[in-house]
C-alpha cells in the first residue's frame, strides 16, 4: 500500500528532475542549479496575481484578468500609494493624421487595430487588466530566478550616447537614430513579421527606443515593439512587448509586467501576448502604430499600441527620463550567438534585405518625434547604423505619403555573411 508520504516524496523528486532536465529541452540553456523549487513557486505566486477571470488562448497562453489595483506595478516601493491615472491628459498634436496616410494599393491586408490571439476566446471585463500567466518552465529557462524577464547587464549592448551605437557583444542592429535635442516621445508605424530564430536563446525584435543617460551605469530607456523570443516565451510567435530601465539594466526594469513599474490601464492588450495578424512575403501586410509620449502635466510616459492606450511609466521610475530623452531610435535587433562558429541564421524583420521593398522587406514609416511643444514632427538629421550590412541592412527614404521611412532587416547567414 502506497502511503501519502511516499507520494509526496515521489512528487518532490519528479520536480527536482524537471529542474535538472527541462533546460536540456531548450537548446542546452543553462539550468538554475542550486535554486530551491520552493523559490520558483514563490516567484510564480508573486508574478501571477489572483484573477477575476482567466482566458485560454489558442497558442497555449493563459490570460488572467486581474483587478487593475492588484497589478504588479504596485509592488514597487515608490508606487505603494500611487493613484492610477486612467487616461493621459492629452495626446500629441501632429502630422500624418490617419485619414491623410496613403498605403500602396497592393496592401489589401492592412490593419490599424492590433488584435491578439487570446481575443478569439474572450475579453477581460472593465476594471481589470489582462496579464499573461507566467509558467514554471519559463522561470526554469532563466539563468536565475532574479534574472527572469530581464536583459543581461554587460551582455546586451544597448545604444549609448556616443555618436553611434556600440556593440559590446553578440547583438546586431539595423536602425535609424536621431539625437542632439530634447525629445518627449515618438510615433512610428511598423509592419509585423514572424522571423525565424535559429535557437531559443536568440531573439529577433523590432522596436523603438527612447533614451537618456549613458551606458554602462545610468542609461534610462523606454522600449516598445514586437519580438520573437523562444527563451522567454517558449515559442516562436511574434509578441507585443515593452521594457524599461533606469540604470543600464543593472538592477531595474524588465520586459512587460515581469517586475513592478509599468502601470497598465487597458483591459484589451496583454503585454507579451501573441499578435494574430502577421505580414506575409509578397502578400498581405499588417502594420501597427506605436506611440510613446510624455504627459507634461504628470510627467508620466504613456504607451499606445494601435488605437489602444495601454498604460504608463510613472516619472518616479527614472532619473534622466524624468525630464526628457536625448536620443530616439527605431529599428531591428537580433542576437548572433554564433554557436556553431558561424553567423546565426536568425532573421531580422521579414528576413529579406531592404532593397526588396514593399511587401517583401520590413519597414518603419511616418517616423516622428514629439517636441517640447507637444507636437509630432519629422525628425531632423537622422543617421543609420548597422554592424554588418551583408547580414542585416537599413535604407532610408522620404516622400509625401510615408514621411520619413526606412526598410531594414535581412536573413543573417548567407554567402556574403558567413
> Does residue 275 form part of some domain?
yes
Predicted TM-score (pTM) of this structure: 0.87
Nearest to 342, CA basis, from 407, 388, 395, 394: 388
Res 23: pLDDT: 43
- Residue 36 maps to a domain: no
CA distance 56 to 1: 38
For residue 109, the enclosing domain spans 88-117+151-409
Question: Among all residues, which ones are annotated catalytic?
Answer: 223, 333
Indicate whether 99 belongs to any domain.
yes
As beta bridge partners, residue 241 has 225
Q: Write the CATH number for 332.
A: 2.60.120
Number of domains forming the structure of the chain: 1
Let me know if residue 43 belongs to a domain: no
What's the pLDDT score for residue 20?
A: 40
- Tell me if 2 is assigned to some domain: no
DSSP H helical ranges for 2-121: 4-21, 37-47
Q: Distances in Å between the alpha carbon of 204 and those of 159, 192, 197, 346?
A: 16, 12, 7, 7
Tell how strand 171-183 and strand 185-191 pair up: unpaired
Higher pLDDT, 312 or 296: 312
pLDDT tens sequence across 356-403: 999 999 999 999 999 999 999 999 999 999 999 999 999 999 999 999
Query: Residue 112's pLDDT is what?
Result: 59
Residues paired with 385 in a beta bridge: 175
State pLDDT tens for residues 223-250: 999 999 999 999 999 999 999 999 998 8
List, for residues 271-300, the tens digit of each pLDDT value: 999 999 999 999 999 999 999 999 989 999
pLDDT tens per residue across span 317-366: 999 999 999 999 999 999 999 988 999 999 999 999 999 999 999 999 99
What is the structure's pLDDT at 3? 55
Paired sense of beta strands 375-377 and 263-264, if any: unpaired
- Give me the pLDDT at residue 226, please: 98
Q: Please, what is the Cα angle at 223 between 417 and 332, to 5 degrees?
A: 15
Model confidence pLDDT, tens digit, residues 57-87: 999 999 999 999 999 999 998 898 899 999 9
User: Is residue 388, in this structure, part of any structural domain at all?
Assistant: yes
Q: Is the pLDDT score of 162 beyond 70? A: no
Sign of the torsion formed by the C-alpha atoms of 234, 277, 257 and 224: positive
Residue 51 maps to a domain? no
Residues 205, 156 contacting (CB under 8 angstroms): no
**CA angle at residue 85 from 79 to 89, to 5 degrees?**
135
Q: What is the dihedral of CA 15, 21, 23, 25, to 10 degrees?
A: -120
Tell me what percent of the residues of the chain surpass a pLDDT of 70.
83
- Residue 9 covered by a domain: no
**Nearest in space to 117 (alpha carbons), one of 52, 194, 44:** 194
Q: What is the DSSP string of 288-356?
A: EEEEEEE-TTT-PEEEEETTEEEEEE-GGG-SGGGT-EEEEEEEEEEE---TTSS-----BTTSS-GGG
Q: Decide if pLDDT at 252 tops 60.
A: yes
Beta-carbon-side half-sphere exposure of residue 181 (alpha carbons within 13 Å): 14
pLDDT in tens, 103-128: 454 454 565 578 999 999 999 999 99
Distance CA 104, CA 284 (A): 11
pLDDT of residue 1: 53
| Confidence grade of residue 145 (pLDDT, cut at 50, 70, 90) | confident
Rounded to 10°, the helix 4-21/37-47 angle is 80
Peptide bond into 353 cis (omega under 30): no
Work out the pLDDT band at 154, boundaries 50, 70, 90. Answer: very low
Q: What is the pLDDT of residues 33-53, one digit of tens each?
A: 454 688 898 889 889 999 999
Please, which residues have CB within 8 angstroms of residue 289's CB and are 6 or more apart in sequence?
Answer: 112, 187, 188, 189, 304, 305, 306, 307
Give the CA diameter of the chain: 80
Amino acid at each position: 500500500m502506497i502511503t501519502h508520504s511516499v507520494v509526496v516524496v515521489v512528487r518532490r523528486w519528479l520536480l527536482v528532475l524537471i529542474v535538472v532536465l527541462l533546460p536540456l529541452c531548450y537548446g542546452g540553456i543553462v539550468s538554475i542549479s542550486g535554486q530551491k523549487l520552493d523559490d520558483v513557486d514563490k516567484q510564480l505566486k508573486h508574478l501571477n496575481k489572483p484573477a477575476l477571470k482567466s482566458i485560454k488562448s489558442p497558442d497555449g497562453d493563459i490570460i488572467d484578468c486581474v483587478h487593475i489595483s492588484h497589478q504588479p506595478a504596485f509592488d514597487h516601493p515608490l508606487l505603494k500609494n500611487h493613484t492610477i491615472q486612467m487616461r493621459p491628459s492629452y495626446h500629441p498634436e501632429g502630422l500624418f493624421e490617419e485619414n491623410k496616410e496613403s498605403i500602396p494599393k497592393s496592401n489589401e491586408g492592412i490593419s490599424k487595430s492590433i488584435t491578439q490571439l487570446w481575443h478569439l476566446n474572450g475579453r477581460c471585463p472593465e476594471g481589470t487588466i489582462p496579464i499573461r500567466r507566467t509558467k514554471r518552465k519559463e522561470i526554469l529557462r532563466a539563468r536565475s530566478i532574479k534574472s527572469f524577464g530581464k536583459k543581461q547587464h554587460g551582455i546586451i549592448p544597448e545604444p549609448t550616447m556616443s555618436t553611434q551605437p556600440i556593440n559590446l557583444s553578440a547583438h546586431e542592429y539595423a536602425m535609424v537614430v536621431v539625437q542632439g535635442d530634447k525629445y518627449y516621445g515618438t510615433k512610428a508605424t511598423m509592419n509585423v513579421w514572424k522571423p525565424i530564430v535559429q535557437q531559443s536563446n536568440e531573439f529577433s525584435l523590432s522596436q523603438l527606443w527612447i533614451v537618456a543617460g549613458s551606458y554602462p551605469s545610468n542609461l534610462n530607456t523606454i522600449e516598445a515593439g514586437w519580438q520573437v523570443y523562444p527563451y522567454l516565451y517558449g515559442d516562436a510567435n511574434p509578441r507585443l512587448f515593452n521594457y524599461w530601465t533606469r540604470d543600464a539594466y543593472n538592477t531595474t526594469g524588465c520586459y512587460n509586467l515581469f517586475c513592478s513599474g509599468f502601470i497598465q490601464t487597458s483591459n484589451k492588450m496583454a503585454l507579451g501576448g501573441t499578435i494574430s495578424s502577421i505580414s506575409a512575403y509578397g502578400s498581405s501586410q499588417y502594420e501597427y502604430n506605436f506611440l510613446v509620449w510624455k504627459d507634461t502635466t504628470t510627467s508620466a510616459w504613456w504607451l499606445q499600441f494601435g488605437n489602444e492606450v495601454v498604460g504608463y511609466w510613472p516619472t518616479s521610475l527614472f532619473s534622466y527620463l524624468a525630464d526628457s530623452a536625448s536620443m530616439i531610435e527605431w529599428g531591428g535587433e537580433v542576437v548572433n550567438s554564433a554557436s556553431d562558429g558561424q553567423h546565426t541564421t536568425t532573421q531580422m524583420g521579414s528576413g529579406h534585405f531592404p532593397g526588396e521593398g514593399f511587401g517583401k522587406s520590413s519597414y518603419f514609416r511616418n517616423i516622428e518625434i514629439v517636441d517640447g511643444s507637444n507636437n509630432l514632427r519629422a525628425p531632423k538629421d537622422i543617421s543609420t547604423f548597422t554592424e554588418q550590412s551583408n547580414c542585416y541592412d537599413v535604407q532610408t527614404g522620404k516622400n509625401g505619403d510615408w514621411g520619413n521611412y526606412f526598410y531594414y532587416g535581412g536573413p543573417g547567414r548567407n554567402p556574403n555573411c558567413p
